Structure 1
Amino acid sequence: MTLAEFKAADPETLKDPLRALWWDGQGDWDRAHEIAQDIEDAEGSWIHAYLHRKEGDTGNAGYWYRRAGRRPAAGSLETEWGEIVETLLAQPSV
């Protein structure tokens, strides 16, 4: 799936990590966060970290970056969103 196809996808056809990011891309932080809270792996922690960073809660974001095994992002939110999406789309299981 390409990034353009992802953006045009029906979110109900996406696995939870991408579905959370899809909703965030639509401006629905709450729905994205609700989904991310239930993803209990490194991907979910990365998404959760990004969402808390976006919210402005850097302390909570730091916790989730550590759980994800990642350094806190320093670039723009848009860049990080794209990086997470591209990483997930490159995985064969997504």
Structure 2
Amino acid sequence: MAGSDDLKRGVELALNGDWEGAHAIAQQSESDPDFCWLHACLHKIEGDPNNSRYWYVKAGRRFEDFSETGDELRALLASLA
């Protein structure tokens, strides 16, 4: 079962440029809004806005809320503290 520590690790991986590692963690829980938020950010980074928007809906968030994914990932990490 995916937990908060896994999610924090996924965000850290994303911030350090490990898209694949972060994506593997994001896929651990497709029903948890925070995991979906990470998933959305990753597809935004990848340049896949349609897939990203899908995950933003599942996360209860909006694609347009952050223009910089680094800022968004840091906001996600801060929300987990």
Task: Give the letter aligned to residue 54 of structure 1.
Answer: I
Q: Gapped runs of 5+ residues in structure 2? A: none
Question: Residue 27 of structure 1 aligns to a residue in which SS?
Answer: coil
Instruction: State the percentage of identical aligned residues.
Output: 39
TM-score normalised according to structure 1 size: 0.75
Q: Which structure has the higher relative contact order (CA within 8 Å, separation 6+)?
A: 2
Question: Residue 80 of structure 2 aligns to a residue in which SS?
Answer: helix
Tell me the residue number matched to 2:22.
32
Which is worse superposed, 57-66 or 31-40?
31-40
Tell me the residue number matched to 2:6.
16
Task: Give the letter aligned to residue 12 of structure 2.
Answer: W
Q: CA deviation digits over 1:19-57, x for unaligned, max 9? A: 101111221110000111012300100000000001110
Alignment check: 8 A CA contact 1:17 1:39 kept: no
Aligned length: 76
Tell me the residue number matched to 1:75.
67
Deviating beyond 2 angstroms after TM superposition, the runs of 4 or more aligned structure 1 residues are: none
When the two chains are superposed, the root-mean-square deviation of aligned CA atoms in Å is: 1.3
Tell me the residue number matched to 1:10.
none
Q: Gapped runs of 5+ residues in structure 1? A: 1-13, 90-94
Question: Residue 36 of structure 2 aligns to a residue in which SS?
Answer: helix
Alignment check: 8 A CA contact 2:23 2:42 kept: yes
Q: 1:29 to 1:75 in 2, by over 3 A?
A: same
Q: Does 2:54 correspond to 1:63?
A: yes
Rg larger in structure: 1
